């Protein structure tokens, strides 16, 4: 039942007369008047169309059909509710709700639905399926804007942008300058799981600074006491256990470190070696802890050292001490510092024994010489 006032009744009659909307054979209309101030009209179907329209039968069984001429600049239906605490349109259904179909040839520039408040865009659905909140012309499948800035967007290729309509990856986040908030904040309160898991069949994490030679960090890891675990700066310096890296240095480790293999100024570490240095080294102290025996065995009775005559012969033959590398071998292969210390100490200890033996011989000769002098002096008298 549709209830009309007298004023609305005469407006509707004039509208029907102008548009020739009722076909008595198909509309099956009925009209009744209860009193002068309360008119009631009952229709099976109502069509509002242009007089020259060819869509007289194109209502698909609808109870209300409105067609606006293609040359008309007016809205097909306009509802204006001036009372603030009531709805302009209310739809109740036991089936489907509102359905809007578009046949436009330019769906990217036509709205299916648009809502605004005093000219400010609230909600838009375009005929090509794009949806905008706070944006009348969304650039992707879904876009949320506020005060002229994009907050969130979803593109047709599946990319998602936060703060941008042009994400550079599957998810792109652009944080405006001077917002004083992180671009991404993750707070994992579950202690048994990671805050972020990255799995890749290609490259891993990529962080790039757009400020050259900056002292700002690209990566910073802190422990629960806000102490630096790793501090990687944009100028290439890295601090482990500290954020302080002296000028001219690339790495500063505050604390102990264990490295299985280390190359200094070289990427080539020979097999069997733990450290390779291409250049000079300086240190206040170097400690070598050997796994082999220290040469105290030289002083044991079992040690057989060559005689001086044998030693002289070996030197004449080899050109160097026995059991020592030659100059050519050292030049070609280098030498092991700990092993060389053992060999040198072995020679020093053997030399000490030679000196002791020589000293004994000298003392014996001195004693014999003294005895001969005494005999000569006695015989001379």
- How would you classify the pairing of strands 46-48 and 262-264? unpaired
228 close to 222: Cβ distance less than 8 angstroms: yes
Q: What local confidence, expressed as pLDDT, does residue 173 receive?
A: 92
Q: What is the torsional sign of CA 297, 300, 302, 307?
A: positive
Residue 205 has pLDDT above 50, yes or no: yes
Please report which confidence band the pLDDT of residue 214 belongs to, taking 50, 70 and 90 as the band edges. Answer: confident
Residue 319 has pLDDT above 70, yes or no: yes
Q: Which 8-state DSSP code applies to residue 224?
A: T
pLDDT in tens, 230-245: 999 998 999 999 999 9
Tokens of 33: 């008047």
Task: Determine how many CB atoms are found less than 10 A away from the CB of residue 263.
Answer: 14
Q: Which residues contact 110 (CB under 8 A, 6 or more apart)?
A: 102, 104, 126, 127
pLDDT in tens, 36-69: 444 455 556 777 776 666 655 566 667 777 777 7
Q: What local confidence, expressed as pLDDT, does residue 11 receive?
A: 45
Q: What local confidence, expressed as pLDDT, does residue 156 receive?
A: 92
Residue 256 has pLDDT above 70, yes or no: yes
Tell which residue, 55, 59, 68, 2, has the closest CA to residue 27: 59
Q: pTM of the prediction? A: 0.57
Q: What local confidence, expressed as pLDDT, does residue 115 receive?
A: 92
Q: What local confidence, expressed as pLDDT, does residue 52 receive?
A: 62
Q: Look up tokens 């675990």; give the residue.
A: 229
- CA 206 from chain centre, in angstroms, equals 6
Q: What is the mean pLDDT of residues 260-274?
A: 90
Which of 63-67, 136-140, 265-269 shows the lowest mean pLDDT across its residues? 63-67
Q: Cα(198)–Cα(191) distance, rounded to whole angstroms?
A: 18
Q: Which 8-state DSSP code applies to residue 12?
A: H
Domain layout of the chain by residue ranges: 1-87, 110-179, 217-277, 295-380
Q: What local confidence, expressed as pLDDT, does residue 344 receive?
A: 93
């Amino acid at each position: 039942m549709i209830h009309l006032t007298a004023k609305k009744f005469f407006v509707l009659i004039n509208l029907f007369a102008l548009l020739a909307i009722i076909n008595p054979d198909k509309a099956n209309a009925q009209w009744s008047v209860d009193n002068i101030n309360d008119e009631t009209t009952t229709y099976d179907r109502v069509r509002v169309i242009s007089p020259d329209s060819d869509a007289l039968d194109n209502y698909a069984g609808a109870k209300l059909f409105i067609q606006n001429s293609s040359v008309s600049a007016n809205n097909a239906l306009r509802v204006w509710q001036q009372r603030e605490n009531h709805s302009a349109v209310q739809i109740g259904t036991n089936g489907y709700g509102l359905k809007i179909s578009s046949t436009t040839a330019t769906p990217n520039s036509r709205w299916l639905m648009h809502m605004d408040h005093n000219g400010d865009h609230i909600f838009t659905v375009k005929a090509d399926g794009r949806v905008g909140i706070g944006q009348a012309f969304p650039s992707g499948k879904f876009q949320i804007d506020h005060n002229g800035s994009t907050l969130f967007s979803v593109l047709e290729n599946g990319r998602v942008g936060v703060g941008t309509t042009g994400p550079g990856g599957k998810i792109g986040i652009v944080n405006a300058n001077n917002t004083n908030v992180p671009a991404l904040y993750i707070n994992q309160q579950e202690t048994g799981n990671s805050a972020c898991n990255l799995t890749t069949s290609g490259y891993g994490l990529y962080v790039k600074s757009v400020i050259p030679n900056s002292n700002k960090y690209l990566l910073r890891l802190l422990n629960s006491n806000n102490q630096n675990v790793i501090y990687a700066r944009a100028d290439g310096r890295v601090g482990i256990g500290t954020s302080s890296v002296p000028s001219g240095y690339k790495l500063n480790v505050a604390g102990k470190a264990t490295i299985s293999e280390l190359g200094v100024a070289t990427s080539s570490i020979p097999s069997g070696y733990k450290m390779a240095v291409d250049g000079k080294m300086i240190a206040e102290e170097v400690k070598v802890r050997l796994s082999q025996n220290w040469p105290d065995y030289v002083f044991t009775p079992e040690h057989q050292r060559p005689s001086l005559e044998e030693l002289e012969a070996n030197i004449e033959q080899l050109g160097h001490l026995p059991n020592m590398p030659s100059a050519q071998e050292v030049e070609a292969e280098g030498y092991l510092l700990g092993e060389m210390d053992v060999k040198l100490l072995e020679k020093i200890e053997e030399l000490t024994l030679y000196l002791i033996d020589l000293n004994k011989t000298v003392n014996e000769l001195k004693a014999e010489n003294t005895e001969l002098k005494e005999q000569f002096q006695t015989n001379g008298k």
